[in-house]
Structures are given as structure tokens and as C-alpha cells.
Amino acid sequence: MKRPELLPGTLDMLILKTLTRSPLHGYGIAQSIKRLSDDVLTVEEGSLYPALQRLLLQGWVKAEWKITETNRRARFYTLTAAGRKQLGLEVTQFEQIITAIGRVLSEA
Amino acid sequence: MKRPELLPGTLDMLILKTLTRSPLHGYGIAQSIKRLSDDVLTVEEGSLYPALQRLLLQGWVKAEWKITETNRRARFYTLTAAGRKQLGLEVTQFEQIITAIGRVLSEA
DNA sequence: TCTCTATACCTAGATAGCCTATACATAGGT
DNA sequence: ACCTATGTATAGGCTATCTAGGTATAGAGA
């Protein structure tokens, strides 16, 4: 199996989490996740932008075109109330599953 | 997002781990994972049997038809040396990724 | 005897998520 | 003038998982 860039099913959660601190554009989200994870997690563009479309459709984020500090047009995403709630749900589920996997892996 | 039965990408690892204790047939593997995880993880048959075929093809398990304690024909899977090695790899990778996700999620 | 449940295996097809590859655009530095 | 980093986006492919179905039989209970 090829080394995956991230665990399938966790991307939306990571994006939502990244937006809890402040609105960010796509490029910034990807950089942020990469940096916070010490380069372990890499969000490919072909995964990122479709994911952002999904989140927009679900109403979990909203988007706004602005100018960045480096003087470029970019689409800034902001977490909505629904998005914050969704993030809580996903984190809870994720931790439950990770705990369960941990139990299986730690069996004598 | 619909509640997943398990985290995509972790099934092979769970199966290999389950076989470290003793050979098991498919049905038994599914039951074992479900039980050990306190019913959090459910392996659907449509995921399980294709996964076992993959593992066979990779040479990570071998299979043998036998009769169970309940007097039924069943295919027992045994972990190979290569499978044991692969399991170690997958667990290491998994833990690295989980740690990385943890870092992202725990950011202030 | 008949029926039901649990045990056991398997596959086809749909679905969804992620990746590869590509395209476009521009600010700022050399 | 060119290059790199920044920034957005989509098409197509791949792979793993799930849904839904089929097959078969042991054993319990009516």
C-alpha cells in the first residue's frame, strides 16, 4: 500500500479545525495543516478544493474573496455555527473510533 | 457524512492484527473485531471478503479450508511472516498519522 | 417435519474520497 | 526577462468501502 498523505475520512475535520482560529484561504489551510502536523499530513490541491466545495454546500463554511497580505486575490473561508457544531461531532466520532482501534491493536 | 463503520484505510491492519493471536475464519475475524472494539467497529462482509483476497494476493495471509468447532466448513486464515512485517509497518504509520492529527486537533 | 436463526462464504455494482495531472494567473525578487 | 512562490480550480482515475443480493447448512424449537 502506498503511503497515504492523510487518513481518508479525516480531511473535512482537519479543515474545519484549522478554521476555528481564524478565516483562511485554501492555500493557507493546506500550509497550516502541513506545518501543525510537522509535515506528516499533506493536503493535495486535488483533495482540498473539492473538500472546500463540499463544506460550502453543507453550509459548514462560507467564503469571501479578499486580498491577502501578499496582495493577491484569494478566497477566505470562515467557519459557520453549523460548521462548529459539525466539527464537534466529527471529533467525538473520530476519538471514539481511534479508541476502538487502539483496543484492537493493544490486545495481547 | 454518514457514520462510517470503520476508518477507511485501517481494515487490513485490523485483520492482520486479529490474526496475530491465532488463525481465524472470516466470520470469526469480523466477530472478533466487533467484540474487541465494544461494537464500535463493524466489518461488513462486502468489505471483509475482498480485503481477505487482497491480503492473500499480497502474501500476508494464507488460507486453508477446515471444519469449525460448530461443525461447519470454513476458510481459516493464518498470518505469514511477511504479513507480520506488514502489520508492524502499518501500525507504525498509523500511529504517526494519528499523532499528527492529534497535534492539529489540539492546537489552541 | 418444518421453520427459524446463527453461522459461513462470496460477488456485482454503486458510491465516495483522495490523488495525479493539468491549467490558469500574478506578485515580487534576481 | 525569468523564476519561484502564491493562489484557485477541474477532469479523470483509482481504490476501498458499503449495499444488496445470492448460496448453503447446523442446530434449536415448534
Kindly determine whether residue A4 and residue B6, on different chains, have CB atoms separated by under 8 Å: no
Residue B52 in grid coordinates? 481477505
Write out pLDDT tens, residues A37-82.
Answer: 999 999 999 999 999 999 999 999 999 999 999 999 999 999 999 9
- What's the CA–C1' distance between B49 and D24, in Å? 17
Confidence class for position B4, pLDDT limits 50, 70, 90: low
Residue A87 in grid coordinates? 466539527
Cα atoms in the 13 Å half-sphere on the side-chain side of A95: 8
Residue B20 lies in a domain: yes
Residue A76 lies in a domain: yes
Confidence class for position B1, pLDDT limits 50, 70, 90: very low
Average pLDDT in chain A: 94
Residue A68 lies in a domain: yes
Does the CB of A82 have a partner CB in chain B at under 8 Å? Answer: no
Kindly determine whether residue B9 and residue A12, on different chains, have CB atoms separated by under 8 Å: no
Does the CB of A21 have a partner CB in chain B at under 8 Å? Answer: yes
Q: Is the pLDDT of residue B108 over 90?
A: no
Q: What span, in angstroms and rounded, lies between the C-alpha atoms of B37 and B16?
A: 15
Interface A:B, Cβ pairs < 8 A: 91
- What's the CA–C1' distance between B30 and C7, in Å? 12
CATH number at residue A49: 1.10.10.10
Mean pLDDT confidence for B85-90: 96
- Beta-carbon contacts of residue B66 (< 8 Å; ≥ 6 apart): B25, B73, B74, B75, B76
How many structural domains compose chain A?
Answer: 1
Residue A1 lies in a domain: no
* Residue A38 belongs to domain spanning: 11-107
Q: Is the pLDDT of residue A108 over 70?
A: no
Q: What span, in angstroms and rounded, lies between the C-alpha atoms of A83 and A56?
A: 10
Residue A50 lies in a domain: yes
Q: What is the DSSP letter of B21?
A: T
Q: What SS3 class is residue B24?
A: strand
pTM: 0.90
Query: With contacts defined as CB-CB under 8 Å, which chain B residues touch A99?
Result: 40
Chain B residue with the nearest C-alpha to that of A37: B100
Write out pLDDT tens, residues B56-78.
Answer: 999 999 999 999 989 999 999 99
Does the CB of B9 have a partner CB in chain A at under 8 Å? Answer: yes
